[in-house]
Amino acid sequence: MDSVILTARTLREKYAHRPAAAFIGPLLAANNIRLDIWPMQTEKFAGCLWKNGDEWTILLNARQAQPRKLFTLAHELGHYFLHRHLKTHFSCNIFPTGPVSRWEREANRFAAELLMPAGQVMRWADTSPARAARHFGVSEEALQYRLRSLSAVRSGGGKYGPPAEND
């Protein structure tokens, strides 16, 4: 298991039986991360993470749908837990220009595992996508992407199948 997934799982285990919306607040507080939500001029801007002095802040665009805000928040937490020792500012756009960097892909994988743990998601694979997405607090699109990525990892394609033993 790689360090991105291990980091997300370790954090998630501290809040094992809580839905994401219930554990994100305590996770922010435990790490002294401030959360600001402001309406931005554009919907292309999703959020950012930056350090000001000793304090880290995550800013989210209030114009985004709640599932998008939750995923962006988890994505920025990915930057905090994985990359904060490398730089002090990260910005997330809905429609990035150019290739997606390794750090952005890692933050996305972290967010997916934090919000939709592999073992839990696979148990929801045969239910309605809308119902499963509501359960995890994410968009149907994010859930479908997560299921496809887990299927590719587990079986090289085809039906989603049961969770792996270590999930």
Check: CATH 1.10.10 for 3-115?
yes
Q: What is the pLDDT of residue 44?
A: 83
Q: What is the pLDDT of residue 133?
A: 92
Ordered by start, the domain boundaries in the chain are 3-115, 116-155
Q: What is the pLDDT of residue 127?
A: 86
Q: What is the pLDDT of residue 131?
A: 92
Per-residue pLDDT of the chain (167 residues; tens, 9 = 90+): 799 999 999 999 888 777 787 889 999 999 999 999 999 988 888 999 999 999 999 999 999 999 999 999 999 999 999 999 999 988 877 666 667 789 999 999 999 999 999 988 888 888 888 999 999 999 999 998 899 888 755 554 434 433 333 33
Q: What DSSP string runs through the chain? A: --HHHHHHHHHHHTTTTS-HHHHHHHHHHHTTEEEEEE--S-SSEEEEEEEETTEEEEEEETTS-HHHHHHHHHHHHHHHHHHTTT-SEEEEESS--SPPPHHHHHHHHHHHHHHS-HHHHHHTTTS-HHHHHHHHTS-HHHHHHHHHHHHHHHHSSSS--PPPTT-
Torsion sign (Cα): 27, 59, 110, 141 = positive
Q: What is the pLDDT of residue 81?
A: 97
Pairing relation of β-strands 33-38 and 55-61? Answer: parallel
Q: What is the pLDDT of residue 16?
A: 73
Q: What is the pLDDT of residue 154?
A: 54
Q: What is the pLDDT of residue 101?
A: 86
Stated pTM of the model: 0.85
Q: What is the pLDDT of residue 69?
A: 94
